[in-house]
Chains A and B, each alone.
Chain A
């Protein structure tokens, strides 16, 4: 698709504000720093009663739309917001005649740049506050049962009684094979290692719950007082708490602080303990270790999926293409976490 044929997603944001607040007058939208897939726009619209609504409209460009997914995300956001999770309040979703879709939310104050949060003195206090706050929010999310989230369309997850780790291992491997661009003996070896762990850890009757699904340091908003909102719920599904806990630990999201496993803020153990305190629920460390390997493999798969979106011509983007080359560093992290790197070095 050439740039000339593509509709400006800022125009979609205007259309979305008009449709969600009928009779309102939207101002000029401005683009927010966003992800590789969506465009996010800030926009204000004034309803006939004179009230100004400060909004964020997240637009999926034509060709990459999955409208059920957008609706699912908005519904889960509504449930989470009502439970008291720090997150944006959703106002509505829509599908445009020109092929884009959108979700309209209230505009939460705060910054999203993880580098500022992790490195500047301005946010030293926020760094101290944020770990217990995030643990608190996650504990609420994970208290939501599959039945309570059933109004969200197309929620994927394990069936009742199925071990959530075992289920995630299977679905991740399927996605990995479907997106494969070239063979990786390292990941094949890691899958074999992981299957042995999963078999040893298998448990019947673990209660599945709602998970955020993309819980990481880049998907939150913050100010000097800590977290103001968990954002980007598009990966939400049914799983188990360890899944969100360990996605937060993946190396790729530590930015300039790789020695601090939990989001570049604290060490792994401090993060898991904060969650245990907030949720009142003990967490099995060996299970966390297996999940961490799986989550890094999942990131490997995502790098291929992103590169594929470019290679298939769906979204021509040098940024998406470049993500494909982050496979190796993530594969290396997988090898580290399984103990392979240490074993090879000790063997000399």
Chain B
């Protein structure tokens, strides 16, 4: 186990630094650069917090749409397989396998849930009210 500060605390410190620099920027360009940097750190912080749960939710959504399979034990294998399953889902959509009204509605629900979870991490201000 690593010493404190935790990764989360280090990122927090970095984010404060970026915000300070943003507020003390000499011009619009520099202000924008530090704002973007602070925002990126915010994305990382939210991702550390929630992405494990979101990946599991996405996996379970895929289970309901295309048939269940067990989640790989190792994190790297889990990520790689989730990516493959998404590529496979895209191919099935292209082939018209979800054109049937009921399947289409189930797909739309899954798509909405996964996209909302992406936005929760990347740009929470853009979430639907």
Binding site for B on A (CB under 8 A): 31, 33-34, 113, 182-186, 188-189, 191-192, 318-319, 321-322, 325-329, 331-332, 335-336, 340-341, 343-344, 347
Cβ of B4 < 8 Å from any Cβ of A? Answer: no
CB-CB < 8 A to B109: which residues of A?
A: 344, 347
The 9 closest A-B pairs by CB, nearest first: A328-B118, A329-B126, A183-B86, A325-B122, A188-B93, A329-B123, A188-B90, A183-B87, A344-B112
CB-CB < 8 A to A113: which residues of B?
A: 28
The answer to whether residues A326 and B36 also contact, given A185-B90, A344-B112 and a CB cut-off of 8 A, is no
CB-CB < 8 A to A328: which residues of B?
A: 115, 118-119, 121-123
Cβ of B110 < 8 Å from any Cβ of A? Answer: yes
Count of CB-CB pairs between chains A and B under 8 Å? 94
Q: Are A335 and B36 in contact (CB under 8 A)?
A: no
A283–B43 Cα distance when bound, in Å, is 40
**Chain B, Cβ-Cβ closest to A320:** B36
CB-CB < 8 A to B74: which residues of A?
A: none
B99-129 contact mask (Cβ, 8 Å, vs A): 1 or 0? 1000001011111101110110111001010
A341–B116 Cα distance when bound, in Å, is 10
**Chain B, Cβ-Cβ closest to A343:** B108
* Distance between A338 CB and nearest chain B CB, rounded to angstroms: 9
The answer to whether residues A341 and B128 also contact, given A185-B111, A186-B115 and a CB cut-off of 8 A, is yes
CB-CB < 8 A to B40: which residues of A?
A: 318, 321-322, 325
Secondary structure class of chain B's binding surface, majority of residues: helix
CB-CB < 8 A to B37: which residues of A?
A: 318
Q: Are B33 and A186 in contact (CB under 8 A)?
A: no
* Distance between B78 CB and nearest chain A CB, rounded to angstroms: 15
Q: Are B118 and A331 in contact (CB under 8 A)?
A: yes
**Chain A, Cβ-Cβ closest to B109:** A344
Among A34, A185, A341, A344, max chain B CB count under 10 A is at: A185
* Distance between A184 CB and nearest chain B CB, rounded to angstroms: 7
Q: Are A319 and B111 in contact (CB under 8 A)?
A: no
* Distance between A149 CB and nearest chain B CB, rounded to angstroms: 33
CB-CB < 8 A to B71: which residues of A?
A: none
Q: Are A189 and B111 in contact (CB under 8 A)?
A: yes
CB-CB < 8 A to B99: which residues of A?
A: 192
Q: Are B86 and A182 in contact (CB under 8 A)?
A: yes
A348–B39 Cα distance when bound, in Å, is 33
Q: Are B110 and A185 in contact (CB under 8 A)?
A: yes
A184–B126 Cα distance when bound, in Å, is 18
B77-89 contact mask (Cβ, 8 Å, vs A): 1 or 0? 0000001001101
* Distance between B17 CB and nearest chain A CB, rounded to angstroms: 14
A133–B63 Cα distance when bound, in Å, is 53
